[in-house]
Amino acid sequence: MGNKAEINPEKELATGLETVVGKRDKTVARGRKKTEALLNVEDLSLSFTQYSSGLRQTELKVISNLSIQAYKGEILAIVGSSGSGKSLLAHAILGILPSNAKLDGKIEYDGNELTQERKEEMRGKEIALIPQAITYLDPLMKVSNQVIGCIEKENEGLMRKLQREIFQRYNLKPEVERMLPHELSGGMARRVLVSTAVISSSKLVIADEPTPGLDEKTLNETLSYFKDMADKGCAVILITHDIEAALKISHKIAVFYAGTVLEVANVEDFKNNGENLRHPYTRALWSALPQNKFQAIKGHQPMQDEVIDGCIFYERCSKKKAICSQGTPQLKQINGGVVRCNNAS
């Protein structure tokens, strides 16, 4: 920790998408052997048992046949509207779902099944969550003790020294370690939450909506922290509504819709007019960005209790065909990405 890398978010993030992508890809190409995903989620489904009409049980399916992979040294952004299953996936990986949840499918970490026992063992150590709200911090405990408390501390003096070095690196003044959460600004709280992942030396970092409500400077600082983690070999999953922020630092974008993945695209596919994007919904998200004049599409995401016989995007799709109403399209690999669409090529 003696050689602290100076983080300049303005320099890193203000140079434009194409420059950032080019610099990042050269670094990753030199240092990554992409042989096996650190995290492999395959054909995952999640439902909740509910009671209705007295003691009658019903199953509410919220995630269906979802598959993604996260690699060391990469940032995978997960985007999609509210209710698409983004945060629920994070909770499934971490093993913090409620007792009425039922999981099917496969979650593997570092080549081995991620059982509930392994999730509990690795949570806060090899696998870290950076939550979106400072309410995750204990309001009655000094923030430095909470950062140290995220891992087993065999030597409190050593851990205190490490915590102070990390705080200094993230421009948190010495007096911050004695503060309570309510005394922190939004940006300070975000840096404290990031520090919990850094001090635990996590290999997989899941950031759940870490940027809402941040001003541009604090937003760029926060994004630079995640880029720094990936540059040091972590696999970072960035869950966000902010596609523009995701495009600044991510290597891949996974597009969620109604509890499943419609497309996983390389960030380069979002360049120019997005003509390399393969799914109509992904192209619609691209068209809805501010620089594309907020071109909206009609309709809404299906509700979780709606029964859909064909493609879940069928009712809103301008490219639909008869086959699209006759069964769920399978994920297929096309040009370095994956897409769930009958018409993609």
Q: Give yes or no: residues 184 and 275 share one domain.
A: no
Instruction: Record the tokens describing residue 178, joined without a space.
Output: 């004695």
User: 3: helix, coil or strand?
Assistant: coil
Spatial contact of 239 and 206, defined as CB atoms under 8 Å apart: yes
User: Residue 269 falls within a domain, yes or no?
Assistant: yes
Looking at the structure, tell me whether residues 144 and 110 fall in a common domain. Answer: no
pLDDT category at 105 given cuts 50, 70, 90 is very high
Residue 101: closest CA among 53, 52, 63, 54: 63
Q: What is the mean pLDDT of residues 258-284?
A: 93
The Cα 146–Cα 157 span in angstroms is 15
Q: How far is CA 282 from the centre of its chain?
A: 17
pLDDT category of residue 1 using cuts at 50, 70 and 90: very low
Our count of domains for the chain comes to: 2
Q: Are residues 41 and 165 in the same domain?
A: no
Q: What is the pLDDT of residue 257?
A: 96
The predicted structure's pLDDT at residue 194: 87
Q: Are residue 104 and residue 215 in the same domain, yes or no?
A: yes
pLDDT of 293:
77
State whether residue 273 is helix, strand or coil.
coil
Q: How far apart are CA 9 and CA 16, in angstroms?
A: 12
Same domain, residue pair 210 and 288: yes
Mean pLDDT of 226-251: 94
pLDDT tens-digit map of 4-58: 444 444 343 333 334 334 444 444 433 444 568 999 999 999 999 988 777 788 8
Out of 200, 229, 250, pick the residue that ends a domain.
200
User: What's the domain range around 162?
Assistant: 138-200
Contact yes or no for 287/272 (Cβ under 8 A): no
Q: What's the confidence (pLDDT) of residue 234?
A: 95
pLDDT (tens digit, 9 = 90+) per residue, 300-337? 999 877 878 899 999 999 899 999 999 899 999 998 89
pLDDT at 12 (0 to 100): 39
Q: Which residue did the predictor score with more confidence, 220 or 150?
A: 220
d(CA 128, CA 120) in angstroms, rounded, equals 11
Asked if residue 2 belongs to a domain, the reply is no
70 plus 94 within the same structural domain:
yes
Q: How far apart are the first and last CA of the chain?
A: 48
pLDDT of residue 337: 92
Q: Using CA atoms in the order 222, 225, 229, 230, what is the torsion angle rounded to 10 degrees?
A: 70
Statement to judge: residues 221 and 329 lie in one domain:
yes
Same domain, 258 and 324: yes
Average pLDDT on 290-301 reads 85
